[in-house]
Structure 1
Amino acid sequence: MAAVPPLCDFGWKPVNATLPGVDGKDHDILAQAGENGLVVVFICNHCPYVVAVIDRIVQVAKDLAELGVGFVAISSNDVTSHPQDSFDNMKLFAEKHGFPFPYLYDEDQAVGRGWGAVCTPDFFGFNADMELQYRGRLDASRKKAGATGLRRDLYEAMKQIVETGKGPEEQIASMGCSIKWKDAS
């Protein structure tokens, strides 16, 4: 069953963390921000919702960079139950799709839990003051990429945020596979 994140908590301020990236370096999440904002997306390698749109995610990241918006992806999935999401497989996934942004591993799941991440993909769009202004979908794609020419919800929302500092009042939540949490034993 698909998971759906909650509506945008406008103004929410994220907690920073340093996580290892597939490039062999440690990255501060918030240091990835551009002068006009930041998108943080929780993804994983195996989710059919992510796989269906990963090339669109890469393109949006490139387009947002031109607007001064940074981009970073984080995987918080439990790799014991889902070994296809391992750090080594993250490296292969990022290379295969030509990620122009850091892909970070949240091994202890503290970031995913602390941010309230729910599904893959789960997008968090921040303005230049690092205030949450978007918690919606990439576009109308689901387990299969939608038709070309779909409204680019994430891109349009971030463009509005760059121009006004505020996200759209109406947002359609993302949908995807639930994040695979470790047992809390």
Structure 2
Amino acid sequence: MALAFTLPDTSGTSVSLHEDGAAAAVVVFTCNHCPYALAWHERLQDVARDYADRGVRFLQINSNNAEKYPRDSVDAMRARVDAGEFAGPYLVDSSQEVARAWGATVTPDVFVTDATGVVYRGAPDGDYNDPSLRAEWLRAALDDVLAGRPVAAAETKPVGCSIKWR
């Protein structure tokens, strides 16, 4: 899998996967309109905030075809960022190359990486309708990585809306 990427954020600034020597990076393929992505959104932002000072980089990527899905346009993404809805960069994958390289299939599709590559892939937790779960699967994977342990549950089934391919 080709992990490295550089994508623009909603202001056009280039952001790379590997910057600042982070111990781990979370990459979430998400979007503006999918009910699953919206249901998990706040839990994911909480993880980004809770782990920011622990050496975890948190990147969210919209790879949907914005021509067919205008709610996923850069302008619509920027409006959400400007409204303070994202705890970290919200990146534009207009070519869809990064989503394809990573094998992302749904929104949200969550990946955790460390120096060895992808160590977790799947859903944030077991039920998009239950905020009390607090993205527990993602948190457990990050806790394992930060403690230097192998991730106990390295894969769960990602649940969400299909990525809207060109």
TM-score, normalised with respect to structure 1:
0.82
In the alignment, structure 2 segments of 5+ residues that lack a partner are none
Partner residue in 2 for 1:56: 43
Partner residue in 1 for 2:27: 40
Selected match of 2:5 from 8, 11, 17: 17
In the alignment, structure 1 segments of 5+ residues that lack a partner are 1-12
The structure that is strand-richer by fraction is 2
Identity %: 35
Highest RCO, 1 vs 2 (Cα 8 Å, sep ≥ 6): 1
Summarize the Cα distance change of 1:33–1:120 in structure 2 as closer, same or farther, 3 Å threshold: farther
Deviation sequence 1:79-117 (CA, Å, 0-9, x none): 111111000001112233531211110111111111111
Indicate whether 1:118 and 2:105 are aligned: yes
Is the 1:137–1:172 contact (alpha carbons within 8 Å) kept by the matching residues of 2? yes
Q: What CA distance in whole angstroms lies between the structure 2 residues aligned with 1:109 and 1:51?
A: 21
Aligned length: 166
Is the 1:139–1:150 contact (alpha carbons within 8 Å) kept by the matching residues of 2? yes
TM-score, normalised with respect to structure 2:
0.90
Which runs of at least 4 in structure 1 moved beyond 4 Å after TM superposition?
none
Is the 1:20–1:104 contact (alpha carbons within 8 Å) kept by the matching residues of 2? yes
Query: How big is the shift at 1:130?
Result: 4.3
Coordinate RMSD, CA, aligned: 1.9
Summarize the Cα distance change of 1:158–1:85 in structure 2 as closer, same or farther, 3 Å threshold: same
Matches within 5 A, 1:32-181: 34=22, 36-127=23-114, 129-142=115-128, 145-149=129-133, 152-169=136-153, 171-181=155-165
